Amino acid sequence: MNLEELFNLHKEQSIEGRYLTLDHIQPLLDKLNSNNQVQIIGKSVLDKPIYSYQIGTGETRIYLWSQMHGNESTTTKALFDFINVLNSGSDFARQLLDKFTFYTIPILNPDGAALYTRENANKIDLNRDSQNLTQPESKILRGVFETFMPHYCFNLHDQRTIFGAGNTGKPATVSFLAPSYNEEREINENRLKAINLIAGINDTLQQYIPGQVGRFDDSFNINCIGDTFQFLGVPTILFEAGHFPNDYEREITRKFLFFSLISSFKLLCENDLVDNRINDYLNISQNKVVFYDFMYKNIKINYDGIEIITNFVAQYKEELIENEIHFNAYIAEVGELENYFGHYEYDAQGANYSDNHNTFPKVNEKADFYLNKNVKFVNGLIKS
C-alpha cells in the first residue's frame, strides 16, 4: 500500500492549519450524516453540541476521540482524512468496515477549540478529570466508553514543539504511549496489545521519519483518561502529534498521523501483531524536553557594563487574534543551555546584541533585536 498516495487521494481539503472549531467541521459532519451516522451525544459547558460519528459493521469496536484538549487539532484533521478513506468505497475500506465498528468524537472539547485553549470553558484539563468526572465533556467520553464497550481506545492529542526523540537533536514528530494501569507499571495482556500495536506503527513511521518517533513517560496517573481506560481493561493508545521542521501549521505531521491510523487498522485487520514486542517498544526513543523554537549562539551581550558571550533561546506563543492563530516569538531564557536544541538555530559568531531598550536579551520580551546594529531579527527570524 502506498501511504503517500492514499493520503493525497483522501486528505480532507476543507480543513487546514491549527485553528479548528465546530464551525470548521460542521459542513463535514453534515456531509457525513447521510443516514444518521452523526449524533449529538451531549453539550459542552457553553452549550455547544458534542458530535459523534459512527461507521462500520465489524465485530471489533474502536473508539477514537480527538481535541479533548481544545488547541490540539492535528489529529482531528487526520481523523477526517481517515474517515474519507472509510467512505471511499475501495476494497481496503470495505475490509476495514467489515472488520471494525468505528465510534469517533472529532472534537470532544468544542469550547476549548473555539477559545484555542487546552482546558474546557471551566478551565479544567479534561485529561485530569477521568476519576471525578466533574465536567460534562468528561461524562460524555466516559458514557460512550460504558455503552459502546470498545476493544481498543485511541486517545488523540498534540504535543508542544519542546519535545525531542531522546537527545538526538531530532524532534518527536509523532509520539506514543501505552499507558500504565497501575503504579508498578506492569504489563498485562491488554497493555501488551497497545504496546504491540505501537511497535507495529513505529515500524511504518521509521521508514518515513527515521528517528523522529518518541515514547512518552509511563508514570501512572489514574486521573488521566488513558490510564483509566487501560485500568478498566481496554487497550488504549495515546497518539501525540508533534513538530516536523518548519511545519508549524502541522500539515506534514497530519500526514504521519494519518499513516499511523492506517497502519493501526491494517495491523489489527491482518492480525499481524507479533506476540511480544516489549523490547521494540522500549527501543523507541523516549520523549525528552530538549527543544526551543529558536536558539541563538555566541551572542555578545552587555549587561551593566560587563560584556560576555552567551546563548539565548526564544519560544513561540500561539495567540488567537481575530480567528487566526499568530505565532509570536518571545525570549525564553539566556545562558549556555547545554543539551538543548533550536528548531531554528543561528550562530552570531560574537556579534553584539541590541534591541530597542537593552543591550541584553530580556526574558518575556518579544524576540525583535539587532546583531551588530545591522542584522535585524523580527519575531525570531532574520530579516533580509
**Binding region for Zn ion (CB under 5 A):** 69, 72, 157
Tell which residue, 297, 383, 372, has the closest CA to residue 342: 297
Helix (H) or strand (E) holding 329: strand 324-334
CA–CA separation, 289 and 312 (whole Å): 16
Check: CB of residue 291 under 8 Å from CB of residue 341.
Answer: yes
- Closest-by-Cβ residue to Zn ion is 157
CA–CA separation, 281 and 135 (whole Å): 34
Q: Which is nearer to Zn ion, 194 or 351 (CB)?
A: 194
CA–CA separation, 173 and 80 (whole Å): 20
Q: Which is nearer to Zn ion, 73 or 311 (CB)?
A: 73
The cell for 360 is 541584553
Residue type, 272: D
In the complex, the smallest distance separating the C-beta of residue 360 from Zn ion, rounded to whole angstroms, is 36
Q: Which is nearer to Zn ion, 76 or 263 (CB)?
A: 76
Tell which residue, 157, 129, 131, has the closest CA to residue 45: 129
In the complex, the smallest distance separating the C-beta of residue 184 from Zn ion, rounded to whole angstroms, is 25
In the complex, the smallest distance separating the C-beta of residue 18 from Zn ion, rounded to whole angstroms, is 14
Q: Which is nearer to Zn ion, 216 or 360 (CB)?
A: 216
Tell which residue, 119, 102, 110, 98, has the closest CA to residue 61: 102
CA–CA separation, 277 and 51 (whole Å): 36
Q: Which is nearer to Zn ion, 225 or 348 (CB)?
A: 225
In the complex, the smallest distance separating the C-beta of residue 155 from Zn ion, rounded to whole angstroms, is 9
CA–CA separation, 273 and 262 (whole Å): 14
Q: Which is nearer to Zn ion, 85 or 126 (CB)?
A: 126
The cell for 11 is 486528505
Say if strands 369-371 and 353-354 run parallel, antiparallel, or are unpaired: antiparallel
Q: Which is nearer to Zn ion, 73 or 196 (CB)?
A: 73
In the complex, the smallest distance separating the C-beta of residue 175 from Zn ion, rounded to whole angstroms, is 11
In the complex, the smallest distance separating the C-beta of residue 44 from Zn ion, rounded to whole angstroms, is 17
In the complex, the smallest distance separating the C-beta of residue 243 from Zn ion, rounded to whole angstroms, is 14
CA–CA separation, 365 and 314 (whole Å): 9
